[in-house]
Structure 1
Amino acid sequence: MSAKSSQGGLSVQSEELRVVILGNTGDYKNKVVKSILDCENLAGVKVGQCTLHQRDRDGRRISVVEAPGWDRSSKQQTPENIREEVERSVSLCPPGPHALLLVIPVKLSEEPSAHEVTAAQTHMQLLSERVWKHTILLFACDDGVEEPQVREHIRGAEKILDKCGGRHYVLQKRSQSNELFMKIDDLVEENRGDFFTTQVYYELIKHKTQEASGEDKLRLRRISLDNPPDLNKDKGDSVEKKKTTESDKPLEDTPKIYMDIRQFVVILMGVVGALIGAVAGAEYGVSGSVTGLVSGIIVGLLIACITKCIYTRMYSRSLKKPTDSRVNSG
């Protein structure tokens, strides 16, 4: 089974566990290393100012990097080379540690120090704000330290506890070795096997991810170009629409044609009436012809108007019926 970094790191075997120990000067970090490896006689390898310890435990390969101690008062008083070694420590167990243990000493003869907690916080931020997701605050106690003093140290470290999600462990005896190991495993499980990476490596992975995203977008554009829309289909629709419009056009022009016919009928009826009236009045001379002409025109126009009204009503009804049927069918 493998696990993968949240920043996109390389896969690692679940049987491997990588831990970095950080804290101020003193031998408390070394005590924590012995507890994790369950080994009294350590044989670490010096890598610069850091020490790399490796050992198989319960069928798992454990790598522990012990970073050099910083000044317990402030980051400014820590030498530049030590600060650089603190930053480099997380790269000595590639591709990155699963857990970082920030050690706060609980000494029998000393009260909690606010400066010590502040210095620890500022030194951890050398590794970026992402480090808190993988950090456990570990209180390493002297022999004989009682519970009230431990609680007082925990209260004094509230700012750091808020940053690392409240994860902490109190190490008082070597017999707690298995419990500490389980606490680290809980963190690894909480992060689903993800590990911490340096800022440089994180930015590299982020850049690679963005490049891959850009390639996906380009691939989608190429697919769009390879499968252009069917313009002929739209063209066919336009032709069909045009045909439909043209087929409807005679219907629109029909009333105009019939209107011209009706006007012709009125004129024709007037002329016919005038001729009939003139012929009928000719028996009475010129005055009779004129009177018959006028009367014929009037009678012809009346007949034409009556015929026009009757025809118009009949024609309007014939046009209305198909329209109503189309509306009902829609």
Structure 2
Amino acid sequence: MNMDQRKQRRELSEEIRIIDKHGKGKGYKTISKQLAVPVTTFANIKKFKVHGTVANLPGHGHKRKIDPRLNRRIVRMVEKEPRITAKEMQAELQGEEQDIHRDKTLKMSCFSKKEGDSLLPAEENPELRIVLLGMVGVGKSFSGNTILGNDLFHSKRSLSAVTEKCQKEMRKINNQNVVVVDTPGLLNIDQTEEEIMREIKKSINLAEPGPHVFLIVLSVKERYTKKEEEMVKSIHDTFGKNTMDYTMVLFTNGEEGTKIEDFFSGNKNLHELIKKCKYGYHLLDSRPEQVPELLKKITDKVQAAEGRYYTAEMLQEAETALKTVH
């Protein structure tokens, strides 16, 4: 007799003793004390009274209206056209003998790449979580408003910090929940770096379970100097060795026709930063298609990374490593 069989035998013996004592008129609490078993175990007594057994019974509920053959056809349709909607699938499957109009399986059969995967609606993309980082006055809050398409973050051009606390906002864009967390500007003369970073760290919890991407915001109207390099180093030291695996450089204040490659190709240090950022770079200019292109670029990278995101545990590791250095 193997270990599983012995365990099942012990459990069955215990259940029989419980039922026997209950049959002799003893209450649940009394039996619990005598046999040293949790009171929750007595759910088996109720089960025995109803079904005459304590064995696991087959599940109940409505049977699926879609058979395996039709389900495979739905999966093939999704593989051929990943963005197909439930209504479009219903229209194409009208000739089928089975009732597909109210079967939730049809609505949940989109998004899967292969049969057996977790199925989500084709029109519903996974949530995207973004944290904005950068110096005072580069346009972080403006970028957040541009991405979400609304004036949710207080924004104005100023040499002093406009954003003093982390702020989280969310909006559904093209059937995708997009979360943006704005953070205080770095290298602010009114606060110490330690005070600013203490507040910026809160962005990780605000973007729980963690941000997919950090956007380091730089203005194309400002040169990338030693000051910006110090800002990037401060970000890296704070968030640790994994930082660049979840980072993109977002250039702001671009104008239509601006070739961003010309901007950074002549700056070796900026070029090196972009090469280290796994999410690459993007330019926000006046064109309306810039935001959809940015979100698609980030989403594609997230999908390629199998949905991975920066976590609170990574932040703790970075804090420990920083203490060790100092």
Q: TM-score, normalised by structure 1?
A: 0.49
Q: TM-score, normalised by structure 2?
A: 0.50
Q: Which has the larger radius of gyration?
A: 1
Structure with greater helix share of residues: 1
